[in-house]
Structure 1
Amino acid sequence: MAHIVILGAGIGGLPMAFEMKENARPEDTITVISNTPTFHFVPSNPWVAVDWRDRDEIELPIAPILEKKGVAFIPVGAQRVHPERNEVELADGRLIRYDYLVIATGPKLAFDEIEGLGPQGHTQSICHVEHAEHAKDAWMDFVKDPGPIVVGAVQGASCFGPAYEYAMIMETDLRRRKIRDKVPMTFVTSEPYIGHLGLNGVGDSKGLMESIFRDKAVRWICNAKVTKVEAGLMHVLEHDDEGKAKKEHTLPFKYSMMLPAFKGVDAVLGIDGLVNPRGFVLIDEHQRNPRYPNVFGIGVCVAIAPTEPTPVPTGVPKTGYMIESMVTATAHNIRALLDGKPPTEKATWNAVCLADFGDRGAAFVAIPQIAPRNVNWFAEGYWVHLAKIAFERYFLRKMKKGTSEPIYEKIVMKAMGIMKLKDH
């Protein structure tokens, strides 16, 4: 009998619990530990932030879902992981022993690395539903007395899609309110060019996103470091292609949302051999930590090296398709170890993204995620907007049912079908 503990109950952690339950032996027990009693669908946060969704529409209670699957649930955050003694120390002082640990915590949001950044400072965030609700309150005040918007992603950020998405959703909402003409918009990003996405671009993402920004009258500053944020004022240092300081910008704003850099959560930060200097979990090709072979990592919390150096630091995104693949590989590898066999499954690190722009949207498929690729496709259209809505509803139904049915594979097949139609 083995005890398998999953740390985290988000887009990686809950599917991990479902797949592990299906792959575990009858005598094995599975426990999920989370610092929150609810699951929320992160990709819907931009809609919450402009009052297109209510929080309760994208949030689910975790306990009844896991109870139906026969999985134990502890809604208490982890204080510290002790891999040398196979224990997780909880915030309430309890020690939870494990035979196998899957770390699926997601990241810590590094707002503190830039003075004035984040909901406790002067900018909004869509990284968590609570942040999105705060952003919505600020947005509702903003539309009564509009002014300049600054939106984007700071140095070290690794998830750029939501920044583009939220910029365009705000733009659409402003047009619907007939106040777009009163709102200058500037997109600030650490990417070397618009549409880089931390992936060196996908298809013609650069050309398409630049065209969309020009059409929507959105200015942009690339190779940008945000040095400080004051109330209504953002200080940005633009760099050239060699990484040298090029121009200082002082950008006034009445509303701003800037995605932060990520790092590992405090429960694992600084554990030698388990994480890198930023606190991301070190894994091998089987999702397993090299020093602690009974510890696995999945999702945004794992360490992935950047594809290539950029003038201003950018990270590599971990998209849903990649996370889904990590989950499946990890579940099968733990089962192999339970059976006394070596792990053999490897995640397919492919990238699929649906970014809603409010009335249209952009989608890309990168197989594999890091170039050179077998599939390198980027497109935009009204169908993406509809696909994102359908995806949200399908994913939430999947979580309610507690099923491990792959969802991103279906999206890839649909996208591939669209590509074939376009070719003909």
Structure 2
Amino acid sequence: MAEIVVLGAGLSGALMAYEMSEQLRKEDHITVIGQGPTYQFYPSNPWVVVGWRKRHEIEVDLTKVMEKKNIRFITEGAKRVNPDENRVELNSGESVAYDYMVIATGPELAFDEIPGFGPQAFTQSICETGQAVQAYEAFEEFCKNPRPIVVGAAQGVSCFGPAYEFAFVLDTELRRRKIRHKVPMTFVTSEPYIGHLGLDGVGDTKGILESALRTRHIKWITNARVKEATEGHISIEELNDDASLKQTHEMDFGFAMMMPAFRGVPAVFGIEGLTNPRGFILADAYQRNPTYKNVFSIGVCVAIPPVTKTPVPVGVPKTGFMIESMVTATAHNIGKLLRGGEVDIKPSWNAICLADFGDGGIAFVAQPQLPPRNANWAASGKWVHWAKIAFEKYFMYKIRIGKSEPFYEKFMMKFAKIHKFEDGAH
């Protein structure tokens, strides 16, 4: 008999629990430890801010789903992982022992690294649905007295797509309310160029995104380092390519949303052999920790080195399909270990992504995610907006019923083929 613990119940954790349940022997058990019972579909958070979605539409109570799949579900959260003892200490003080553990915690949001940063201070966030609801309230007040808007991604950010999405969704909503002409907008990013995305670009993301910003009259600042935020004001340092200071931008705003850097959660941060200095989980090609061989990791919490050195630090994103491939490989590999075999499946680590612009969007495929690539494709159009809506509906359905079949790649490849993705890149 083996006890498998999945630490985290977000995108990667929920999918891991579903797929792992299909790999268990009759005598094995699986436990999921989450921070509360609710799954949130974070890709829809930009829509929450502008009122296109309500919170309840993108949340799922996982309690009944886990029960139906015979998965023990603990919702009080983990205080500390003790890999030397094969044990997870819960916030209640109790402990859960494991034979195998899959860490799927996601990140901690490092707002405290920049003075005045974050929803408890002077800028908004879309990283969590509760924060998106708070931003919705702030946006409604803003629309009564339109002023400049600043949107972007701070130094150390690894997830740039939502920042671009949010800028364009805001632009669309402001035009619908017929107040766009009153709102100067600036996109601020730590990327060395627009469309870098932490991936050194994918296809012509630079050209597509620069054109989209220009068409929508959104100015931009790259190589940007946020110095501090105060009420209605943000200080930005723009660097040269050699990392020297180019100029400082002092910008007033009526509404600001800036993506923060990520770091590992407190339950794992600083455990030697398990994490890197930022608290992300070290993993080999099979998602297995090199020191603790019975510990695997998936999703945003996994340590991936930057693609290239940049004047302002940027991280590497973990997209939906990349996470799905991590989940499938890990479930299979643990299943093999349970039956006396060896790990033998490596995740593909391809990047397949949809970024909605509110009335259009951009899609890209990078195979593999890190260059050089076999496929390097990007396209834009109104079809991306409808594809994102369709994906949201299906994925929420999948979470609600506990469906374990990987879906993201099939979905994206279907749309990509329709819109002239080259056959040789499949």
- TM interval, short-chain normalised: over 0.9
> Are 2:60 and 1:63 aligned?
no
> Are 2:198 and 1:207 aligned?
no
Q: 1:339, CA displacement in angstroms? A: 1.3
1:257-406 equivalences in 2 (<5 Å)? 257-406=257-406
Contact 2:352–2:409 (8 Å) recurs in 1: no
Q: Distance in 1 between matches of 2:368 and 2:118?
A: 33
Q: Are the structure 2 counterparts of residues 419 and 371 from structure 1 closer, same or farther at C-alpha, using a change threshold of 3 Å?
A: farther
| SS of residue matched to 2:22 | helix
1:83 aligns with 83
2:36 aligns with 36
Output the amino acid matched with 1:331: A
Q: Distance in 1 between matches of 2:90 and 2:226?
A: 35
Q: 1:412, CA displacement in angstroms? A: 3.4
Q: 1:248, CA displacement in angstroms? A: 0.5
| SS of residue matched to 1:225 | strand
Q: 1:81, CA displacement in angstroms? A: 0.2
| SS of residue matched to 1:12 | helix
Structure 1 runs not aligned, ≥5 long: none
Q: Distance in 2 between matches of 1:368 and 1:335?
A: 25
Q: Distance in 1 between matches of 2:198 and 2:419?
A: 23
| SS of residue matched to 1:417 | helix
C-alpha offsets along residues 100-150 of structure 1, whole Å, 9 cap, x if unaligned? 110000000000000000001100000000000000000000011110000
Q: Distance in 2 between matches of 1:267 and 1:400?
A: 28
1:182 aligns with 182
Output the amino acid matched with 2:198: G
Q: Distance in 1 between matches of 2:417 and 2:367?
A: 15
| SS of residue matched to 1:23 | coil
Q: Distance in 2 between matches of 1:10 and 1:349?
A: 19
Structure 2 runs not aligned, ≥5 long: none
User: How many residue pairs end up in the alignment?
Assistant: 423
C-alpha offsets along residues 144-200 of structure 1, whole Å, 9 cap, x if unaligned? 111000000000000000000000000000000000000000000000000000000
Q: 1:421, CA displacement in angstroms? A: 7.1
Q: Distance in 2 between matches of 1:410 and 1:334?
A: 24
Q: Distance in 2 between matches of 1:90 and 1:35?
A: 10
Q: Distance in 1 between matches of 2:413 and 2:166?
A: 26
Q: Distance in 2 between matches of 1:215 and 1:116?
A: 31
Q: Distance in 2 between matches of 1:411 and 1:371?
A: 23
Q: Distance in 1 between matches of 2:316 and 2:411?
A: 21
Q: Distance in 1 between matches of 2:153 and 2:409?
A: 28
C-alpha offsets along residues 338-378 of structure 1, whole Å, 9 cap, x if unaligned? 11111111000000111111111111111110111111111
> Are 2:135 and 1:132 aligned?
no
Q: 1:418, CA displacement in angstroms? A: 2.7
> Are 2:195 and 1:172 aligned?
no
Output the amino acid matched with 2:173: D
What fraction of aligned residue pairs are identical, expressed as a percent? 61
Contact 2:328–2:406 (8 Å) recurs in 1: no
2:100 aligns with 100
1:239 aligns with 239
Q: Distance in 2 between matches of 1:15 and 1:167?
A: 29
Output the amino acid matched with 1:38: T
Q: Distance in 2 between matches of 1:49 and 1:104?
A: 26
C-alpha offsets along residues 1-43 of structure 1, whole Å, 9 cap, x if unaligned? 0000000001100110011000111110000000121001010
Q: Are the structure 2 counterparts of residues 64 and 91 from structure 1 closer, same or farther at C-alpha, using a change threshold of 3 Å?
A: same
| SS of residue matched to 2:363 | strand
| SS of residue matched to 2:209 | helix
Q: Distance in 2 between matches of 1:348 and 1:147?
A: 45
Q: Distance in 2 between matches of 1:58 and 1:149?
A: 26
Q: Distance in 1 between matches of 2:352 and 2:417?
A: 14
Q: 1:416, CA displacement in angstroms? A: 3.9
1:225 aligns with 225
| SS of residue matched to 2:11 | coil
C-alpha offsets along residues 52-95 of structure 1, whole Å, 9 cap, x if unaligned? 10000000001101111110100011000000000000111011
C-alpha offsets along residues 231-275 of structure 1, whole Å, 9 cap, x if unaligned? 011000000111111100001100000000000000000000000
Output the amino acid matched with 1:61: D
Q: Are the structure 2 counterparts of residues 20 and 26 from structure 1 closer, same or farther at C-alpha, using a change threshold of 3 Å?
A: same
Q: 1:336, CA displacement in angstroms? A: 1.2
| SS of residue matched to 1:143 | helix
Q: 1:419, CA displacement in angstroms? A: 4.6
Stretch of structure 1 that moved more, 138-147 or 404-413: 404-413
TM-score by length of 1: 0.99
Output the amino acid matched with 2:45: N
